[in-house]
Structure 1
Amino acid sequence: MREVAASWHPLSSGERSVAIEVLVHGPLSRTELARRLNLSAGSLTRLTKPLIESGLLIEVPEAGTTAAEVRQGRPSQPLDVVAESRSFLGFKITEDMVYGVVTTLRSDIVARHDRPLTTHDPAQVADLLAEMTGELARVHPRIAGVGIGVGGLVQDRAVVGESPFLHWREVPLAELVEERTGLPVVVENDVAALVEAETWFGAGRGLDRFVVLTIGAGIGYGLVLGGRRVPYAEEDRGFGRHWIVNPDGPLTPDGERGSAVSLLAIPNIRYQVRAATGRDHTYEEILALAAAREPMPARVIDEAARALGTLVAQIANFAMPQKILLAGEGVGLMDVAGKTVEDTIRAHRHPLAAPIDLETKVSDFHDWARGAAVLAIQVLVLGAGEE
C-alpha cells in the first residue's frame, strides 16, 4: 500500500500549485491553467511533465474532439486528474461511533462503513480502525492513505494531545494505526478537516473569504482568508465557550453563562429542557415540540435561534466573508426557527449592509469523515497544507 502513495514523488511548490488547481477546478486547458497561475507556456510545460509521467495528471479530450485528434495528442488537450485512480479512507471518531468513508481523489464518497465504539482505550480504538480499514480495502484495493478526524487538540497531524470526548491525552494515534495497517495516516482536528474539505471541494471553493460554522455536540468555527484556512488555538479546544452571546443567558454544565456553547450545543439544549421539565428528550424531539409550540422547548429553541443569529451577524460584521456555511448535526434548528435567526441577523447588522450569503448544509458524520479523507489527499498526495 505504501508503494502506491510513493508513486507520486514529493512535489515542488510549483508542481503542487499546478496539481491543486487541476484537482480542484479541472479539467483545465493549458492556456487557462497558465493564466490562473501566471505562468509562461514553457514554465507550465516544465511543471506538468513530471505530474503526467507520475500518473497524477492526464490529458483528456475536449468536447467534440475526434478519435484521430486524440491519437495525435493535440497540445490543446485539457489536463485533469483520474479521480478513481486512487482511494482514500476517512474516519470520524465520536464518543460512541466510528464513521468511515472511502473517497476518490476528488473526495467523492464511494463507500460508507460505520462501527460502534465500545471502548476508549487507544490501542483498542486503533485495532477497530485497522479492522475497518481491512474490510474497506478488500473492496477498494487502491487505498493510498488514511485520514482521521478527532474532536480536540491534535499535534503535528499525528498525536491527539487532548480529546474531551474520548478522554485522551498524548495519544500517538497516527503511529498506532500505521503500525496496524501499513498505510500512511494523517490525524487532524475534525473541524479543521471539514473546513479544508469545504474550501477545496465544497461551498467555499473559489472563495477568498469563507467561514464554516458548525453546531452540534459543540460549536466549531473555521475562517478561510485568501483561499487558505486560518489556524488558531481555540479550534482544537472548543470554540464558543467564552464567546458571550447573552450575558443573562442560561448557566449550563459546559460553557460560560450565556456563551455560544451554553445556548447552542445540543447537550446544553437538552440539559435546559430537562432541567425545566424533568423529562429527557432527544434533540429531534425538542425541535418537534418547539415547532408544536410546547412552552419550554419553544423558549429554549427560540433562545438558541437568537444566539445563532447574533453569532452569525457578529462573524459577518468582523470577518466580512463572502459566504458562511452552517453545518453540523444541529442545523435542524434552521427548519424550526430559521425566521428568528434571520430576524436576529438583520437586527445586528447595519441597515445598508449587504445580505449575508448563509448556506445551510444538512450534514452527517460521514461529511466529517470525508473531511479527514481530504486532509489525507492534501498531505499524503500533494504535500499541501503543511502551514
Structure 2
Amino acid sequence: MGWQPSDQLTQDVALEVLLHGPLGRAELARRLDLAPATLTRISSELIRSGIVTETSQVIEGRGRPTTPLDVVPTAHHFLGVKLAGEFVFAVVTDLRARVVRVLDARHHTGSPEEVVDIIHSLRDEAEADHPIDAVGIAVGGVVDADGAITSAPFLGWTDIPLAAMTERQLQRPTACANDLEAFVEALHWFGVGSGHSNFAAITLGVGVGYGCIANGRVLANADSGVGLVGHWPLDPLGPLCRKGHQGCAEAMLTIPAIKRSMLVATGEQLDWDQIIARARRGDDTITRLLERSGRALGQLIAAVANLTAPDFIVIGGEGVDLAEVARADLLDGLDEHRDPRASKVSIELAPGTNEEWCRGAAVLGIRRFVLARGNANNNPLRAETPATDPTPAPEARAAANQA
C-alpha cells in the first residue's frame, strides 16, 4: 500500500496522524481548524486508502467516546544507510523510524559504484524480512538538492549523483543528504524535537557539526555540509587545527584533537573509549585535560543559544560523552558566555552510535515516501513541505469546510 493522499489537505491530515498520532477526530479537527464534516470525509478517504486506520483504543471524554486514528507503523519499512570512510552502516526502520533490524557493517574501498552495489545487497538482505519502500543515505559532506554529493573529502568524491545511481539500480525511491541534516530532521519528526519549531543540534566526532530547525523547517543551503562551525573561535590560547586556526571548535572539541592532546600530555596513545572510561573512573590527569574541552563546548553552546534562541540544544555524535564527563566545565563555559538575565539553556544528549546516524538516514527515506506527492525532488530536506505541525492555509481550510 502506498501513500498517495488525493490533495494537500488530505496529506496534511495524514501527516498530522503520522507525526503525532494516535489522535481522535475532534483533536485532529481542532489542530487543523477543520469542520467535523470535512474531517469525517477526509478520514474516511484515508482509511479506505489504507494510509490510516482506526485503533482499538477508545478515548473517553465529555461527549461520546471516540476511536483515535493512527498509522500502522509496521505497514512500511525503510533502509537507512550511513556512509562512513571505510564502512557502510545500515538499519531497517518502520514508518515512525523505529529500528527493527541492524544490518552488519560492510567494508568499502571508496568507489561510488561499489558503494551502490553494497547498498543494493543490504536492501536485498533487509527484504528477506521487510519489504523496503524507500532508501535514505546520509553522508558527511555537501549534498545538493538532487541528492548528488558535490563534495565529500573523506571519500575523495566530487559531483557523484549518489541518489540517482542508487535509485536506478535498486528501483526504490532514494533520498541522499548531509548526515547532520538527516540527524536534525529525525529529531524534528520522531525525536525530542517533535512539536518544536525552533531547536539546534551540535554533533561531536571527527568534526564538529551544527544544524537547526527554524520556524518549523530545517535550515539548509548550498553551504550545508561544509562544516563551517568547526572553525568557530573558542580559545585564543588553544591548540591549532589542521587549517592553522588557533583554539577553534575543531581544535578543541573533535575526537582526533582531544586524543592528540592526551598523547602530548600523557605520552599514551589512548582511544576515545579509554579516555571516557578513565574520566568516569575519576582519573585526575584525564579529567584535568578534558576541562578545557568541556569549557569550550559550553562556550559553543552559549554562542548557538545567543545567536539563534532555540527552545533547546541537542548534543550528539560519537563524541557526545564529552558533554557528560565534563558537564561541570561545560556549564561553567556556558555561564561565562551567557547573560545571567537570559533564560536557562536546555541541553539534551542524543546517542552517538552508528545506529542513530542510520536512523536519521532512514527518515530521509520516510520523508521521500510520504512527501512524494507533487515533489520529485530527491532530497526532501530542501523541499517546501509542511512543518512538523502542518496547519493548512486559511483559504484551503475555508474551501474544504464549505465543501
Structure 1 length normalisation: TM-score?
Answer: 0.89
What do the CA deviations read for 1:91-145 (whole angstroms, capped 9, x no partner)?
Answer: 11111222111111111110001323230011111111111111111121x2101
Q: Which runs of 4+ in 1 moved over 6 A?
A: none
What is the CA–CA distance in structure 2 between the aligned matches of 1:75 and 1:294, rounded to whole Å? Answer: 61
What is the CA–CA distance in structure 1 between the aligned matches of 2:40 and 2:219, rounded to whole Å? Answer: 32
Provide the residue aligned with 1:228 in structure 2: 217
Which one of 79, 94, 105 corresponds to residue 95 of structure 2? 105
Provide the residue aligned with 1:89 in structure 2: 79
After TM superposition, give the deviation of residue 17 of structure 1 in Å: 1.7
Unmatched tracts of structure 1, length 5 or more? 66-73
What is the CA–CA distance in structure 2 between the aligned matches of 1:48 and 1:286, rounded to whole Å? Answer: 54
Contact between 1:147 and 1:186, CA under 8 Å: does it hold in 2? yes
Letter in 2 for 1:337: A
Q: Does 1:8 align with 2:8?
A: no
After TM superposition, give the deviation of residue 245 of structure 1 in Å: 1.2
Contact between 1:255 and 1:261, CA under 8 Å: does it hold in 2? no
After TM superposition, give the deviation of residue 343 of structure 1 in Å: 1.7
* Matched position secondary structure for 1:174: helix
What is the CA–CA distance in structure 2 between the aligned matches of 1:300 and 1:162, rounded to whole Å? Answer: 34
After TM superposition, give the deviation of residue 88 of structure 1 in Å: 0.7
Provide the residue aligned with 1:117 in structure 2: 107
Contact between 1:197 and 1:371, CA under 8 Å: does it hold in 2? yes
Provide the residue aligned with 1:71 in structure 2: none
**Against the structure 1 CA distance between its residues 327 and 102, is the aligned structure 2 distance closer, same or farther, given a 3 Å change threshold?**
same
Q: Does 1:247 align with 2:241?
A: no
Contact between 2:315 and 2:323, CA under 8 Å: does it hold in 1? no
Contact between 2:3 and 2:369, CA under 8 Å: does it hold in 1? no
What do the CA deviations read for 1:12-63 (whole angstroms, capped 9, x no partner)?
Answer: 3322221111111101111111111122223323433432222111122333
**Against the structure 1 CA distance between its residues 155 and 255, is the aligned structure 2 distance closer, same or farther, given a 3 Å change threshold?**
farther
Q: Does 1:381 align with 2:376?
A: no
Stretch of structure 1 that moved more, 187-196 or 312-321: 312-321
**Against the structure 1 CA distance between its residues 48 and 34, is the aligned structure 2 distance closer, same or farther, given a 3 Å change threshold?**
same
Q: Does 1:52 align with 2:47?
A: yes
Which one of 155, 176, 180 corresponds to residue 187 of structure 1? 176
Which one of 9, 19, 22 corresponds to residue 14 of structure 2? 19
Structure 2 length normalisation: TM-score?
Answer: 0.86
Letter in 1 for 2:240: L
* Matched position secondary structure for 1:139: coil
What is the CA–CA distance in structure 2 between the aligned matches of 1:88 and 1:154, rounded to whole Å? Answer: 20
Q: Does 1:323 align with 2:318?
A: no
Provide the residue aligned with 1:282 in structure 2: 271
Contact between 1:287 and 1:301, CA under 8 Å: does it hold in 2? no
Provide the residue aligned with 1:173 in structure 2: 162
Provide the residue aligned with 2:192 in structure 1: 203
Contact between 2:144 and 2:222, CA under 8 Å: does it hold in 1? no
What is the CA–CA distance in structure 1 between the aligned matches of 2:361 and 2:175, rounded to whole Å? Answer: 8
* Matched position secondary structure for 1:23: helix
What is the CA–CA distance in structure 2 between the aligned matches of 1:232 and 1:159, rounded to whole Å? Answer: 14
Structure with the larger RCO, 1 or 2 (CA within 8 Å, 6+ apart):
2
What is the CA–CA distance in structure 1 between the aligned matches of 2:111 and 2:260, rounded to whole Å? Answer: 28
